[in-house]
Amino acid sequence: MSSPSAAASSPAPALDGGVILEEILEEILLRLPPQPSSLPRASLVCTRWRRILSDPGFLSRFREHHGRNKPPPLLGFFDEEFRRDKRPIFKLTTMGRWDRIPPARFSAPWIRGEGWAFFGCRHGLALLICQKRREAVVWDPLTGHQRRLAFPPGFCRKKGRFVQNAAVMCAAAVEDGHVHGDCRFTPFRLALVGSDSDGTHKFACLYESESGVWGDVVSLETTRSTCVCVAKPSVLVRNSFCWLVSGGGILEFDFEIQSLVVIQKPADVNVAAYHWSFLVVRTQHSGLGLAVFSEPDYQSGTIQLWERKSNRDGVVGWELQKTIQLDGLFSFGLTGEPNAFMMQGYDEDSNAILLSTFYGEYMLQLESMQFINLIEHQSACIFTRTYYPYRNFYVIGSGVGGRDGGAEMSVH
């Protein structure tokens, strides 16, 4: 057994310039906030910091550390007016000026006059459809990389079938340590949903990048009035993509068991069947939900949240979870000035509805009832458009086209 004096005389581990110092420094830098400006600004401190912060292994650990228990940061959202062949505009949120990314970096691959449409983003990937070329484009807005896929044979013009909506997702398993937001064209799934020319049948087809082939076309007989809303994005609920259909119903495509069904709206919902009155959402327990704007004039601002669940007898149906009075949540409602509300987007990762008002654009979190202001403005009207939130980790080396966007952003 060594004596205390011998222990006291033992030399301490060398920290200056050694491996231990490097590891401690990495652990400290891992805890920087995941905002766009954090790593670029820290990289300007010295050469050693920049070398650590630009290392691919560190960046992967950084995204894993911050994405383990919460979603990637909201960088902004794509704004698409309710008409096709118009390039979506990327809008920044009200984040600090150091975190503002130049919107030009998110310019979608678009050729005017070819019938392009933007169908949302998920897990850092965005999806565009071109009816004229009959192809889908999976696009990484941060790097500019694209994957172009021709429509499956089942969606050919000769069969009178056309695409009405689509969805994309990362197929990497979170259980294996993958963090969404660090996808970078890891295996992905792409689903197309459409209709025949007379509207009596709906079709869905799934592409999996790991196999590189389209699956079988799944069909469902429907009424002619059942039309998939092109202005509403898909919502991922467990193993299903869900889209809003005309009248407030939901088209559910379970890509695991390859089934396609239409779920009718709650029987107790008696509102005008405008698609702007309905929004497919996820519930607090990751189930299927439906948000219903119950005021036809859009001025009082009442939203009902319904959940699809089983009762004691095992019968699946709709159950009202809560009613939200919007005019009581927002302070500008106390001014007495006229206002209006419209649901124009949904963020899966935070379970929040994007609301347009005369005073700006807001994101309302459905569990906490907290809201944040995304864009401030004051206008006498609300334009019909769809907002697609975009979340990802914007770090050094992730600039569009492989440029070091982080360093450029810091300097500017």
* Least-confidence region, from 190-194, 215-219, 271-275, 322-326: 271-275
Residue 132 lies in a domain: yes
Closest Cα partner for 203 from 273, 247, 152?
A: 152
Q: Residues 278-293: what's their mean pLDDT? A: 93
Residue 407 has what pLDDT? 34
Q: How far is CA 83 from the centre of its chain?
A: 21
| pLDDT over 50 (residue 399) | no
Residue 406 lies in a domain: no
* Least-confidence region, from 10-14, 53-57, 123-127, 135-139: 10-14
CA distance 179 to 66: 9
Q: Residues 308-315: what's their mean pLDDT? A: 88
Residue 153 lies in a domain: yes
| pLDDT over 60 (residue 293) | yes
Structural domain ending residue among the three candidates 7, 33, 59: 59
Q: Residues 185-214: what's their mean pLDDT? A: 92
Residue 400 has what pLDDT? 37
3-state secondary structure of 322: strand
Residue 71 has what pLDDT? 83
DSSP letters spanning 288-350: EEEEEE--TTSSS-EEEEEEEEE-TTS-EEEEEEEEEEGGGT-GGGGG-----EEEEEEETTT
* Residue that has been written with the tokens 């509207």 in this structure: 199
- What mean pLDDT value characterizes the chain? 80
CATH of residue 267's domain is 2.120.10.30
pLDDT, one tens digit per residue, over 12-69 is 444 455 667 888 899 999 999 887 778 888 888 999 899 998 888 888 788 788 776 6
CA distance 74 to 198: 40
* More confident call, 235 vs 145: 235
User: Residue 234 corresponds to which tokens in the numbers above?
Assistant: 């898909």
User: Based on the domain organization, do 83 and 51 belong to the same domain?
Assistant: no
Residue 138 lies in a domain: yes
Q: How large a percentage of the chain has pLDDT more than 70?
A: 76
Structural domain ending residue among the three candidates 59, 87, 106: 59
Residue 126 has what pLDDT? 93
* More confident call, 127 vs 183: 127
User: Based on the domain organization, do 28 and 95 belong to the same domain?
Assistant: no
Highest mean pLDDT among 99-113, 252-266, 378-392: 252-266
Residue 217 lies in a domain: yes
| pLDDT over 50 (residue 343) | yes
Closest Cα partner for 89 from 110, 114, 109, 106?
A: 106
User: Based on the domain organization, do 33 and 155 belong to the same domain?
Assistant: no
Beta bridge partners of 357: 341, 360
Residue 64 lies in a domain: no
* Least-confidence region, from 278-292, 345-359, 395-409: 395-409
Residue 12 has what pLDDT? 44
* More confident call, 143 vs 240: 240
Structural domain ending residue among the three candidates 12, 28, 59: 59
Residue 168 lies in a domain: yes
Q: How large a percentage of the chain has pLDDT more than 90?
A: 35
Contact yes or no for 169/189 (Cβ under 8 A): yes
CA distance 62 to 85: 38
User: Based on the domain organization, do 49 and 198 belong to the same domain?
Assistant: no
User: Based on the domain organization, do 195 and 47 belong to the same domain?
Assistant: no
| pLDDT over 50 (residue 357) | yes
User: Based on the domain organization, do 101 and 158 belong to the same domain?
Assistant: yes
* More confident call, 80 vs 11: 80
Q: Residues 341-359: what's their mean pLDDT? A: 88
User: What's the first-to-final CA gap in the chain, in angstroms?
Assistant: 61
Q: Residues 268-283: what's their mean pLDDT? A: 84
Residue 401 lies in a domain: no
* Least-confidence region, from 46-55, 79-88, 106-115, 375-384: 375-384
* More confident call, 69 vs 84: 69
User: Based on the domain organization, do 124 and 103 belong to the same domain?
Assistant: yes
How many other β-carbons are positioned within 10 Å of the β-carbon of residue 309?
16
User: Residue 81 corresponds to which tokens in the numbers above?
Assistant: 């007016």
* More confident call, 15 vs 90: 90
**Cβ-proximal residues to 90 (8 Å cutoff; 6+ apart), any chain:** 76, 77, 78, 79, 103, 105, 106, 107, 141, 390
pTM: 0.82
User: Based on the domain organization, do 214 and 146 belong to the same domain?
Assistant: yes
pLDDT, one tens digit per residue, over 179-197 is 666 666 678 999 999 999 8
User: Based on the domain organization, do 36 and 154 belong to the same domain?
Assistant: no
Q: How many domains does the chain fold into?
A: 2
User: Based on the domain organization, do 74 and 54 belong to the same domain?
Assistant: no
User: Based on the domain organization, do 347 and 205 belong to the same domain?
Assistant: yes
* More confident call, 404 vs 246: 246
State which amino acid sits at residue 104: A
Structural domain span for residue 55:
20-59
pLDDT band at 270 (very low <50, low <70, confident <90, very high): confident
User: Based on the domain organization, do 44 and 162 belong to the same domain?
Assistant: no
